[in-house]
Chains A and B, each alone.
Chain A
Amino acid sequence: MLMADHEMKTTAPDTGLRIKTEVKAPGNAAEDTGIEIVCQAVNLAYGDNHVLHDITMDMQKGRVTALIGPSGCGKSTLLRCLNRMNDLIDDVRVWGEIRVSGLDINAPTTDVIEVRRRVGMVFQKSNPFPKSIYENVIYGLRIAGISDRATLDAACERSLRGAALWDEVKDRLDASGLGLSGGQMQRLCIARAIAVEPEIILMDEPCSALDPIATLKIEELIYQLKEKYTIVIVTHNLQQAARVSDKTAFFWLGRLVEFGPTAQMFTAPKDKLTEDYITGRFG
């Protein structure tokens, strides 16, 4: 896993604490890498409360897509549609089509377990299990029925390295996952998500409970992760969206207002609402 370190040095942007909005040149973001997720006229309602209206957007493979918008605009709800976490709520109805690598995830024949294996998720509040670091990372493999020690050990190391946590915890894998710092716990959750080798990682405001340094580490990690995974991130932090994402979608009142390359969204938004939001006139 020396390669990861090497890549970090060469491809990660110049780090250092950036507080101001800095729009990073998206580089090859324009290059077509293929579509991973297709949302076609997605609607969602909790009982009579219609929350998402006709969302249609595509998310590209190996890219970071940021969902931004004021609180209650439906961005987290959309994110949770992508691995069917909304199933847990009673009285929820989803219609329209969502395809993940061609699989219609809401089709009656689709196995929700399979969907969630392919689409990993990292939550706003880091939520490691009250188990050891090791058991946390390999949880997904254990429930998949893998019990071969060598496979589990290898997956644990690979995932922790992938989440840039290996060097900090390699000597205390048996310690409780709850003994880590906030940032470490969030990276542990990322390690847990990538241990099952998903295709997509959903991140629901992964840094909102973290301090700026821990946030920076997660952002660097996102930068590395997109080499292998398609990432969809919900964030309230516009600077963060600008720093980490290739494309940004702006939601307002359950509707997709504007969706485009991040650089363009932050420098020359097409919609008046988007402009007002990113310049801080409301939200």
Chain B
Amino acid sequence: MTLAKNLARGEHLIWLTGSALGICLLMILGLLTVILANGLGIFWPSRIEELTLVDGSVVAGERVQRQAIPDPGHPDHLKKHRRQLKTGNRDIYGIDFRWVNESEIARSEEPKGLYLVERSEYGPLIGEPVKVSEGPQEVATGPAAAERLPDLVARAERDRAAIKAIEKDAIGSVNYTLERIRLERRKLDYRQRQDPRRDVSAARSALDRREEEQKARYADLEEKLRTAMESAARTSVTFRTVDGKEKELRALDLYRAYPANALSWPGRAAVYASRLWSFLTDQPREANTEGGIFPAIFGTVMMVFLMSLAVVPLGVLAALYLREYARQGVLVRAVRIAVNNLAGVPSIVFGVFGLGFFVYFVGGAIDRIFFPEALPTPTYGTGGILWASMTLALLTVPVVIVAAEEALAAVPRSMREASLAMGATKFQTILRVVLPAAAPGILTGLILAMARAAGEVAPLMLTGVVKLAPELPLDGFFPFFHLDRKFMHLGFHIYDVGFQSPNVEAAKPMVYTTTVFLLLIVVLMNVTAIMVRNHLREKYKTSAF
């Protein structure tokens, strides 16, 4: 068969299309593999190597990587190797990682007595527990001290929970009430300035009484907190590093301790599971390089949820007008093109717009009208989860409009006619026939919008995301939803941990892991929406003919 004939049959096109798809799939798979391998591996407790070097010094740490030493021009080029060890003990050595040339290693061991200790400061500690003390008194030494470690960690967790309960919940509520009293007093001042004849002394003395009450409670709680802290801080553990330095740790600071070389497989799996769980449920620690990402997960989900609440009505109403009510002509076509182009505007532009319009203009107006007593401290006139969600809603509304318009156009004319011929008004027809039939298509638009919104970072940085938000936008204090609060977001967390962290090398695995969970959340939200859509499709599937 000749080449021309082959070309005409389009064989080459099949190969071309097939390889294009193949390349896309390979790249996606490669990306996923890299993220998953790097992201999910870090929780696995690896073994600790103790290396005695030829100069007599001893180093211990988890092996991070081994690479050939480049030495161009030399016969040894890429023939010798070196290892990177995560030595921990940043408070003692000042560094977390250390390179060791293999030619300098005299002896390599994996001693069973070495523990890896996660603690509240300075990253992990690697060493051997030598003694446990209660105040000035030693209660256990040597192997007995090691045996007591699990109990101490469990107790530290309970103590921290108790202290947190006092600090955050009790004292937090007192602080919250005090802040409200302060604002109410400012409100009174403000009212009195507006109307000097007004008598506010009764209100003022009531406020004073309440403040006294709260202050008394505060003193009480502070005392309680101090006792709790003292009793918890009495116990301490001393560890000895491989090079003989001793470090005393408050038991309260212990987060996790395990003998890295003595663990069995199930033991390792248990450590893995517990690390994964605390990553998902804990607050970040140490400039986000340790601890968990729970506030970021929560912020991301809540922001996407708020955005969906805003974007669906807005997009669907706009699409309804464009498709059902507007007279189809040049103007509507122009609007449609403009909407499509809006989807291509860089997201940072939306961020700037959100900052100018939502934060300064709308938020500023809300502050002037509803919270004048708090000014000049802004309430809504600063970035917050509400404004970030609104900005993203604006960013994704073109997607929803386009999808909703297509869905509306796909509702068969015969169905509308049937409804209108029954004496339904246009409004009734839209509400009872057109919208239900278009709902699956509208949901497709929402799915696309959510996927886009969950991954956006740039506009959020201007409208309310922060690297560490101490309080969630949803909590037990009235009015429960604090839409003015700043929040954490997984996408921004990736950027912050990966590129803004003081300890980039230590934070690197966190970047991958956070990415895994961002992807997972997007997939989860999409799967939920797809399931709802399929359910609706089943319910409203149109006639076969």
Contact = CB atoms under 8 A, between A and B. Distances in A.
Interface of A: 83, 85, 88, 90, 113-114, 116-117, 120-121, 123, 125-130, 139-140, 142-144, 178, 182, 185, 189, 192-193, 196, 209
Contacts of A90: 327-328
Given A123-B418, A130-B539, A143-B419, 18 more contacts: A88-B416, A90-B328, A114-B423, A116-B423, A123-B417, A123-B421, A127-B414, A127-B417, A129-B418, A129-B419, A130-B436, A130-B437, A130-B540, A139-B424, A139-B432, A189-B418, A192-B418, A209-B545
A148 B416 CA distance: 25
Contact of A178 (B422, B425, B542): B542
B434 to A, nearest CB: 11
Interface residues of B, number: 27
Interface of B: 327-328, 412, 414-425, 428, 432-433, 436-437, 539-545
A127 to B, nearest CB: 4
A178 B543 contact: yes
B543 A143 contact: no
Most chain B beta carbons < 10 A, residue from A126, A129, A193, A196: A129
Contacts of B540: 130
Contacts of A130: 436-437, 539-543
Contact of A144 (B421, B423, B539): B423
Contact of A140 (B423, B425, B543): B423
Contacts of B417: 85, 88, 123, 127
B421 A182 contact: no
Contacts of B424: 113, 139-140, 143
A185 B422 contact: no
A121 B541 contact: no
A127 B425 contact: no
A4 to B, nearest CB: 23
Given A143-B428, A143-B432, A123 B422 contact: no
A27 to B, nearest CB: 31
3 pairs of A and B residues whose beta carbons are closest in the complex? A127-B414, A117-B423, A121-B421
Contacts of B422: 116-117, 120, 139-140, 143, 192-193, 196
B251 to A, nearest CB: 65
Nearest to B436: A130
A123 B425 CA distance: 19
B420 to A, nearest CB: 7
A116 B420 contact: yes
A196 B543 contact: no
B530 to A, nearest CB: 20
A143 B423 contact: yes
B506 to A, nearest CB: 57
13 contacts: A116-B420, A123-B418, A123-B421, A126-B543, A127-B417, A130-B541, A143-B419, A143-B423, A178-B542, A178-B543, A178-B544, A189-B418, A209-B545
Contacts of A85: 417, 420-421
A127 B423 contact: no
Contacts of B433: 129
A160 to B, nearest CB: 16
Nearest to A115: B423
A182 B541 contact: no
Given A123-B418, A127-B415, A129-B415, A182 B545 contact: yes
Given A130-B541, A178-B542, A178-B544, A113 B418 contact: no
A139 B499 CA distance: 60
A121 B417 CA distance: 9
A85 to B, nearest CB: 6
A178 B190 CA distance: 66
Nearest to A202: B421
A186 B312 CA distance: 36
A144 B428 CA distance: 10
A196 B419 contact: no
Contacts of A123: 414, 417-418, 421
Nearest to A182: B545
A86 to B, nearest CB: 11
A116 B421 contact: yes
A17 to B, nearest CB: 23
A65 to B, nearest CB: 18
Contacts of B432: 139, 142-143
Nearest to B422: A140
Contacts of B428: 143
Contact of B418 (A114, A127, A144, A182): A127
A145 B180 CA distance: 49
Contact of B412 (A114, A116, A127, A143): A127
Contacts of A209: 545
A120 B414 CA distance: 15
Contacts of A120: 421-422
A136 to B, nearest CB: 9
A127 B543 CA distance: 7
Contacts of A143: 419, 422-425, 428, 432
A116 B423 CA distance: 5
Contacts of A88: 416-417, 420
Nearest to A141: B422
Contacts of A185: 543
B371 to A, nearest CB: 44
